[in-house]
Structure 1
Amino acid sequence: MLSVPTLWTVFIINFLALGLIWAYVAHSYPAFGAARFWTASALVASAGTACAMLRVMMTDSLLPLLAGGTLMVLAAGLAAMGIERFYDKPVRWRSTALSAALAFVGLGIFIFAYDSMPMRILVYTVAQVMPLALTLKLLLSPENGRVNPGARLAGIVASVLIGIYGLRLVGALLQPGEFSFVRFNAGQSLVILLMVFLSMALNFGFLLMAIDRLRNEVADLALLDDLTGVGNRRHLVQRLTEECARSDRNGEAFALLVIDLDGFKGVNDTHGHAAGDACLQHFTLMAQTRLRPGDMLARTGGDEFCIVLPSSTLREGVMIARRVLEVCRADAEQCAGNDIPISVSIGIAQWTREIGMHPDRLIAAADHALYDAKKGGKNGYAAYEPKLPPEMADALEAGLRKRA
């Protein structure tokens, strides 16, 4: 049977190793704020377990018990704060500090003023499990329609930890003196060993949460245009492929706008590329103010943009094109001094059964309409009208003559 001091030593080494791992993550990814809280939690927990070990070795003093219990409560609060930061929720500094302070006072009272092990366990258990219990909803609730696998693991492990603390509290109240973590017996050794495993599993869940978040951020960056922050060509093709497949299944049309900034080469040649970049960014902001929820703006290269309009007809595409033109014209009228007016031409096309699962055909149709808009004098729009086959065109013409 492993002795309690040996197991507490394992506990200390375990938390120190976790602290070093989280410190490396925090250093490598400074923007990932949750890692700093989880680093502090692991290191504070290692200090708390060191105090518990001192209590085992120094049976005459109860000061390590007070310090260790307070530090473990603080560690739980820091872990919960890391979860809150991960989900971009307000971090409760005051609640954590108050919980640790109340635990310190409560433990102090039932150590020095009125020696009562069951009451000490009650104070410690409540202060330890409350932060984790309050974050269970965050861990187990879907985020953006999906549950993070690491968060689910962390939530399950946290629930098991809360259950163990609850059972220990019930046992301590029913059989005082038999459920102390510093007692040397088989039951306590098993519980401490289980706690070591669960603490590792909890942090492994946190690590999976971090990996999933960082992977999603990398995936998002691969689909975004660096300059404007909207989707890039890869993202556009991906979205068009999805919309074509959806329309092919249900027959519901959608529309595509291809937009080109008029005279953009002259802007770069006359005012410089920095001014050209500023124009692209400004146009992006203006266009986004005229889009509906669910519409997608993407920069496909140079001065060319596309707008995907789900569940929209050609008529609705024309309406959005007019909105974009109006905001650009209104902005150009207000230009003065060194301001550069922005003028755009827009081509509009609608998905049809002939296009089917081929987004490149829809892009080509919208490009054809854009060419017509350019020929019409720029600063306007044109809609793509599919040409009828020769036999259909002849039949239509004959029908019109007959009516006449």
Structure 2
Amino acid sequence: MKLDFTTLYVVVLLNSLMLSIIWGSIAGTYRNFLPARYWLASSLINTVGGSVLLHTSGDYAILAAIAGNALIIFGFLNIWMGLRIFFGLSSGIGIAVAVTTVCAALMVLLIDAPRARNMVYSGGQLVPMVLSILLLAGQKSLGVGGIITMAAMGIGALSRLIVIGSNIAVLAQAFTAGGFFSIAPVTLLLVICSGIVWNFGLATMAIDRLREEVAILAASDDLTSLANRRGLNERLSLAMRRARRSGQTFAVMLVDLDNLKQINDSLGHSAGDAAIIHTAELIRAVMSQQDYAARLGGDEFCVIIAKPHASAPGADAASLSRPAQMADALLERLATTPLRFAGTTHPISASIGIAAWRPRDHEHHADILAEADAALYASKTAGRNTVTMAIPAAIDTTGAPVLGSGA
């Protein structure tokens, strides 16, 4: 079967229409997923470009070909721009417009030099492919979708290099024009096929990202953006598995506001919400990057503390362990930074209970939470605004850890 450019331009057009439907569906369903808009724009622009290339006859055939080629170059650049947005970068629209403008201007200047014009067009397509490959290669983790996209773009880039090299060979009289026209449709077919594959890769990347976002939302607290109880349980289970493998322990700190009911009763639930958000911000301020905070519900918070026995050199480990330091720092911040609501300030205090994970006593994450909760209850009973630690080394006759006051 003989391949001809007209047939392939029809394939480009139909393929772009199909991809427009797919990306239009994704962009319309997930309106906040901005990369899909760029990839939809790419498909739509390529659809228009393919339509223009199908009408390259008559007095304005060359100009129509230049316009169609410029549109397709810009369509390819939209793939790259979407990838930049996907990875949290600016769109790079200025570069895209500049590349398209330069290529269009060169094709106009070379209007009487079809081979040179063909090289400019192929080079214009090559630029976004190379930029996309470099962007993907620079990521720490790609996933299957990223690998598929990068590999497909590599094939597409190779086909464009073959076209550029073939044109140079023809100009150097090392290759015949007939030979060039025998391979040019094949290279175009390679670009079409690789384009289908890299869009599949992009779709896979989109699905993975959206699934991650849903998982994050399912494990997040709407009010504070901390983890919720589900997220905490998952992280506790992970922390326990890691601790068993490495021998590195961790601690759990439960924080419960002492006076949220009074704030709700006197100022309303919006003030109560503000108090919870304020407390969450103060908890973040005393955490390290290795720690993990969650809101369990109501006015209760939990922090998983990594490396709880780290302390200052020469200091007493029991009094200056990380959990005790964090708890004291949190109570101090609560005391010195009262809630500001409706133009007035309102003091907030909290009770804190701390427990350290021990493999013999904590088979399930509920076990260490129960121990920390008992310590929290002891703080409440002791008069509130204080810290109680479940001391692992001290066990009473019932087998339960002895609770010691830390503040």
Q: Report matched runs for 1:273-284 at 5 Å.
A: 273-284=269-280
Please give the secondary structure, in 2, of the residue aligned with 1:242.
Answer: helix
Taking structure 1 as reference, are residues 128 and 391 closer, same or farther at Cα in structure 2, changes over 3 Å only? closer
- Residue ranges of structure 2 left out of the alignment (5+ in a row): 310-317, 401-407
Please give the secondary structure, in 2, of the residue aligned with 1:207.
Answer: helix
Amino-acid identity (%): 31
- Equivalent-residue separation in structure 2 for 1:215 and 1:317 (angstroms): 34
Q: Which residue in 2 is equivalent to 1:371?
A: 377
Q: Deviations over 1:122-167 (max 9, x none)?
A: 2122222112212213223444xx3232121111111111111001
Q: Which residue in 1 is equivalent to 2:121?
A: 124
Please give the secondary structure, in 2, of the residue aligned with 1:62.
Answer: helix
Deviation, 1:363, is 0.8
Q: CA RMSD in A?
A: 2.5
- Equivalent-residue separation in structure 2 for 1:286 and 1:124 (angstroms): 57
Q: Report matched runs for 1:165-314 at 5 Å.
A: 165-176=160-171, 178=177, 187-313=183-309
- Equivalent-residue separation in structure 2 for 1:333 and 1:82 (angstroms): 42
Q: Check if 1:64 corresponds to 2:61.
A: no
Q: Is the 8 A contact 2:119 2:163 kept in 1?
A: no
Q: Is the 8 A contact 2:160 2:187 kept in 1?
A: no
Q: Which residue in 2 is equivalent to 1:104?
A: 104
TM-score by length of 1: 0.88
Taking structure 1 as reference, are residues 60 and 259 closer, same or farther at Cα in structure 2, changes over 3 Å only? closer
Q: Which residue in 2 is equivalent to 1:161?
A: 156
Q: Deviations over 1:266-307 (max 9, x none)?
A: 222222211111110111011111111111110011111001
TM-score by length of 2: 0.88
Deviation, 1:334, is 8.3
- Equivalent-residue separation in structure 1 for 2:210 and 2:62 (angstroms): 44
Q: 2:359 aligns with which of 345, 349, 353?
A: 353
Taking structure 1 as reference, are residues 229 and 179 closer, same or farther at Cα in structure 2, changes over 3 Å only? farther
- Residue ranges of structure 1 left out of the alignment (5+ in a row): 394-404
- Equivalent-residue separation in structure 1 for 2:387 and 2:364 (angstroms): 24
Taking structure 1 as reference, are residues 12 and 335 closer, same or farther at Cα in structure 2, changes over 3 Å only? closer
Q: Check if 1:78 corresponds to 2:74.
A: no
Taking structure 1 as reference, are residues 222 and 392 closer, same or farther at Cα in structure 2, changes over 3 Å only? closer
Q: Is the 8 A contact 1:140 1:151 kept in 2?
A: no
Deviation, 1:391, is 11
Q: Which residue in 2 is equivalent to 1:330?
A: 336
Q: Which residue identity does 1:50 align to in structure 2?
A: S
Please give the secondary structure, in 2, of the residue aligned with 1:175.
Answer: helix
Q: Deviations over 1:205-253 (max 9, x none)?
A: 1111111111100000011011110011111111111112222233222
- Equivalent-residue separation in structure 2 for 1:293 and 1:326 (angstroms): 20
Structure (1/2) with the larger strand percentage: 2
Q: Deviations over 1:69-108 (max 9, x none)?
A: 2111111212211111111112212211111111111111
Q: Which residue identity does 1:379 align to in structure 2?
A: N
Taking structure 1 as reference, are residues 390 and 62 closer, same or farther at Cα in structure 2, changes over 3 Å only? closer
Q: Report matched runs for 1:7-26 at 5 Å.
A: 7-26=8-27
Q: Which residue identity does 1:149 align to in structure 2?
A: V
- Equivalent-residue separation in structure 2 for 1:382 and 1:34 (angstroms): 49
